[in-house]
Amino acid sequence: MNAKIQTLKELYPEDLLGYSHKLTEGEVAVLSELRVSLEKHLRPVLTDFYERGTFPFDEFYKVVADVNFMNDDRIFEGRENKLKTSELFNAFLYLELARFDASIATFFTVHGGLCLNTILVGGSEEQINEFVPKLRSFEYQGCFGLTEPDHGSDIAGGLATSAKRVGDKWILNGEKRWIGGSDTADIIPIFARDTEDNKIKCFIVRKGAPGYKAEVIPHKGSLRMIHNGHITLDNVEVSEADRLPNIEGFKSVNDILTFTRADIAHLAMGVSAGSFIAAHKYVTEREQFGKKLASFQLVQEKLVRMQSNFVANLGYSVQLSHLQEEGDALMTNSALAKMHNSLNMRENVALGREICGGNGITLEADVMRFFLDAEAVYTYEGTHEINALIVGRAITGVGAF
């Protein structure tokens, strides 16, 4: 057995079908280092920050200083001219982050998924050269301003934020809601409707722009560490140079969402793994009736269902990543994977909490954190119903929404 395969068996013993074997040696090395750094810097503070409902920025950026998992040369071996890592590495990066914590993974998907893909899809060469290196190095924190207080699933036709051109500037007015990282981001892509032609366009609002206000949404019971914000745009001025020229209409938004919906399929896969790993650890240590919980038939059956759900989710994610790498990125495939992986994730976190009994409702056993966070993951980047209807339209030829 070569060294890479041995490392992968130690990293991902739950990958029973060996999906990880296609990763390169450099990718495996970075993922291994990321695991160590997450445990070192974030594990000791995770529960405290979760209960406080705030993000551990200092500790997260210590991880980035240790392991630049967007920019390390080893993950670009053989693809030196690319602006993104391989899609397979991306899937396993989400596995690594989300099996640790869904809020940490969500912070990354807003920055390295939604924001980065918006720049890559919509930006000019000059904008890509300005923003992408700073996003990859985490010099800039990015977010993504699409959804609104009154428009989520119907945002394609309902987007109300306006953009009016005045000379070489645009004036933005409106509100955005559930925007992760909106209070701390350096660049905020804002989608708004042009008052002249009624088309959706995208504008880069920079940190500190007059008229931009982001208030953190309180009282959340899921993804508590993420700073979801309510944005108010009051005559915010953006130069024409900061309009992304290749965003023209909702088709461009769909091009972005095709990739980012796949990211959330991967994230759901990672949460499925995290709950399984936490439950497995608990039942192999906890004794009841004079023996380990893991020795009981009913417990083993639930663990095997969790294992099976995870492997199925991983299979969806890996195959989807192969298609994307080959340039065959379809909204239908991303929607199917997000719907499937989220359903399996929801069952896994419920089984994990159930297996751990009364102790499973505390944060000490980890399963409760995954249980609570799964509800947000199940909903964002397209609810179950919306993703089902996207696939339904593809297989029947009839749009039902």
Write out pLDDT tens, residues 185-213: 999 999 999 999 999 999 999 999 999 99
Mean pLDDT along residues 120-138: 97
Does 157 or 111 have the greater pLDDT score? 111
- Position 88 in a domain: yes
Choose one of 208, 242, 276: the last residue of a domain.
242
Mean pLDDT along residues 1-30: 94
Q: What is the pLDDT of residue 143?
A: 96
Residues 230 and 255 in one domain: no
CATH number at residue 233: 2.40.110.10
- Indicate the SS3 state at residue 79: coil
Beta bridge partners of 184: none
Residues 218 and 297 in one domain: no
Residues 281 and 338 in one domain: yes
Q: What is the pLDDT of residue 198?
A: 95
Length of the chain counted residue by residue: 401
Contact 200, 191 (CB under 8 A): yes
Pairwise CA distance, residues 215 & 203, whole Å:
20
Residues 83 and 40 in one domain: yes
Contact 160, 202 (CB under 8 A): no
- Position 359 in a domain: yes
Pairwise CA distance, residues 387 & 365, whole Å:
32
Residues 271 and 363 in one domain: yes
> What is the end-to-end Cα distance of the chain in Å, rounded?
52
- Four-point Cα dihedral 88, 91, 94, 96, nearest 10: -60
Q: From residue 81, give the alpha-carbon distance in Å to each of 73, 78, 85, 128, 259.
A: 11, 9, 11, 14, 20
Q: What is the pLDDT of residue 290?
A: 92
Task: Output DSSP code: residue 400.
Answer: -
- Position 308 in a domain: yes
Does residue 81 have a pLDDT over 90? no
List pLDDT tens digits, range 284-300.
999 999 999 999 999 99
DSSP codes joined into one string, 243-293: B-TT--SHHHHHHHHHHHHHHHHHHHHHHHHHHHHHHHHHHHH-EETTEEG
Q: What is the pLDDT of residue 1?
A: 67
Contact 321, 90 (CB under 8 A): yes
Q: From residue 94, give the alpha-carbon distance in Å to each of 81, 273, 317.
A: 23, 11, 10
Which pLDDT band, with edges at 50, 70 and 90, does 399 fall under?
Answer: confident
Mean pLDDT along residues 109-135: 96
Beta bridge partners of 287: 292
Contact residues for 397 (Cβ-Cβ < 8 A; gap 6+): none
User: Could you count the other beta carbons within 10 Å of the beta carbon of residue 313?
Assistant: 27
List pLDDT tens digits, range 219-243.
999 999 999 999 999 999 999 999 9
Task: State the amino acid at position 297 in one-letter form.
Answer: Q
- Position 310 in a domain: yes
Does residue 365 have a pLDDT over 70? yes
* pTM (2 d.p.): 0.96
Residues 291 and 212 in one domain: no
Most distant CA pair in the chain, distance = 78
Residues 271 and 219 in one domain: no
Choose one of 209, 242, 275: the last residue of a domain.
242
Residues 254 and 383 in one domain: yes
Choose one of 78, 108, 136: the last residue of a domain.
136
Q: Identify the domain containing residue 365 by its residue range.
A: 250-396
Residues 311 and 372 in one domain: yes
What b/e sequence results for 88-110 when a residue is b if at least 16 CB atoms lie within 10 Å of its CB, and e otherwise? bbbbbbbbbbbbbbbbbbbbbbb
Residues 120 and 225 in one domain: no
Residue 138 sits at φ, ψ, to 5 deg, of: 70, 15
Contact 38, 99 (CB under 8 A): no
The number of helices, as runs of H, and strands, as runs of E, in the chain is 14, 8
List pLDDT tens digits, range 149-191.
998 888 888 899 999 999 999 999 999 999 999 999 999 999 9
CATH number at residue 360: 1.20.140.10
Domains identified in the chain, total number: 3
Does 346 or 364 have the greater pLDDT score? 346
Q: What is the pLDDT of residue 156?
A: 83
List pLDDT tens digits, range 321-339.
999 999 887 899 999 999 9
Q: Measured in whole angstroms, how far is the alpha carbon of residue 263 from the centre of its chain?
A: 5
Residues 9 and 132 in one domain: yes
Residues 179 and 63 in one domain: no
- Position 147 in a domain: no
CATH number at residue 109: 1.10.540.10
Looking at the chain, the whole-number percentage of residues with pLDDT higher than 70 is 100
- Position 97 in a domain: yes
**Structure token pair of residue 36:** 């160590």
Q: What is the pLDDT of residue 49?
A: 97
List pLDDT tens digits, range 338-356.
999 999 999 999 999 999 9
**Cα Rg of the chain (Å, integer):** 21
Pairwise CA distance, residues 389 & 385, whole Å:
6
